[in-house]
């Protein structure tokens, strides 16, 4: 039993600002996630969480790999397209990466990974990837997801 409902949990989590990542794999297939994060520097590991109801996640799993395409401000339409019905690659420019996962044009960064572990995470699966190739894109403004809306992440102070 919990002392809060699902709506309160969603609201609390929506106060946590994240970046927005288009996870791609050969097919091509893809889905947008906000649950992407780095895990380890040595070895280089990242993760994202895939909903267990996702139709795309089994196709990514079958490929054994994914590329995390970090979206830039102005790429909200890619985020919408990669989370909705229809052809997710319609009008989207990309190149196949060194292992076949699409590298989307003009993104902030591409992080190409081999899937090395999966862990149960309630109604999601925690997917861990070992990074094997990086493309660092233009140093532009990132796309940010906060309170269920897209924002751009501008610099407030030059260092942390
Ligand atoms: C901003 C944003 C963030 C999302 N984050 C996740 C996420 O972290 N994990 C996930 O499984 N789905 C996430 N989704 C939903 C998926 O993009 C997609 O809509 C869902 O997986 C259904 O499509 P599918 O059945 O093809 O997977 C997010 C959607 C949006 C718009």
Q: What is the pLDDT of residues 61-74, one digit of tens each?
A: 999 999 999 999 99
In contact, 65 and 25? CB cutoff 8 Å: yes
Structural domain includes residue 6: no
CATH number of the domain residue 140 falls in: 2.30.110.10
Residue 79 CB less than 6 A away from ligand 1: yes
Structural domain includes residue 156: no
Structural domain includes residue 159: no
Residue 110 CB less than 6 A away from ligand 1: no
- Taking the centre of ligand 1 as the mean of its atom positions, its distance from the CA of residue 143, in whole angstroms, is 16
What pLDDT, on a 0 to 100 scale, did the predictor assign at position 15?
97
Structural domain includes residue 35: yes
- Taking the centre of ligand 1 as the mean of its atom positions, its distance from the CA of residue 10, in whole angstroms, is 14
Task: Using pLDDT thresholds of 50, 70 and 90, give the confidence band for residue 1.
Answer: low
Per DSSP bridges, beta strands 45-51 and 109-121 are: unpaired
Structural domain includes residue 81: yes
Residue-wise pLDDT for 18-50, tens only, equals 999 999 999 999 999 999 999 999 999 999 999
Q: Which domain holds residue 70?
A: 19-151
Residue that is written with structure tokens 């609390």 in the block: 12
Residue 81 CB less than 6 A away from ligand 1: no
Residue that is written with structure tokens 């109604």 in the block: 123
Number of domains forming the structure of the chain? 1
């Amino acid at each position: 039993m919990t002392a809060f409902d699902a709506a309160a949990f969603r609201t609390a989590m929506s106060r946590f600002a994240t970046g927005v990542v288009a996870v791609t794999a050969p097919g091509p297939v893809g889905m947008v996630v906000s649950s992407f994060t780095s895990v380890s520097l040595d070895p280089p590991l990242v993760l994202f969480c895939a909903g267990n109801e996702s139709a795309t996640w089994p196709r990514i799993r079958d490929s054994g790999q994914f590329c995390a395409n970090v979206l830039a401000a102005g790429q909200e339409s890619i985020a919408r397209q990669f989370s909705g019905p229809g052809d997710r690659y319609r009008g989207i420019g990309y190149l196949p990466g060194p292992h076949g996962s699409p590298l989307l044009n003009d993104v902030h960064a591409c992080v190409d990974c081999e899937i090395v572990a999966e862990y149960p995470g309630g109604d999601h699966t925690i997917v861990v990837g070992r990074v094997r190739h990086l493309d660092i894109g233009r140093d532009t403004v990132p796309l940010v997801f906060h309170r269920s809306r897209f924002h751009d992440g501008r610099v407030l102070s030059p260092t942390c």
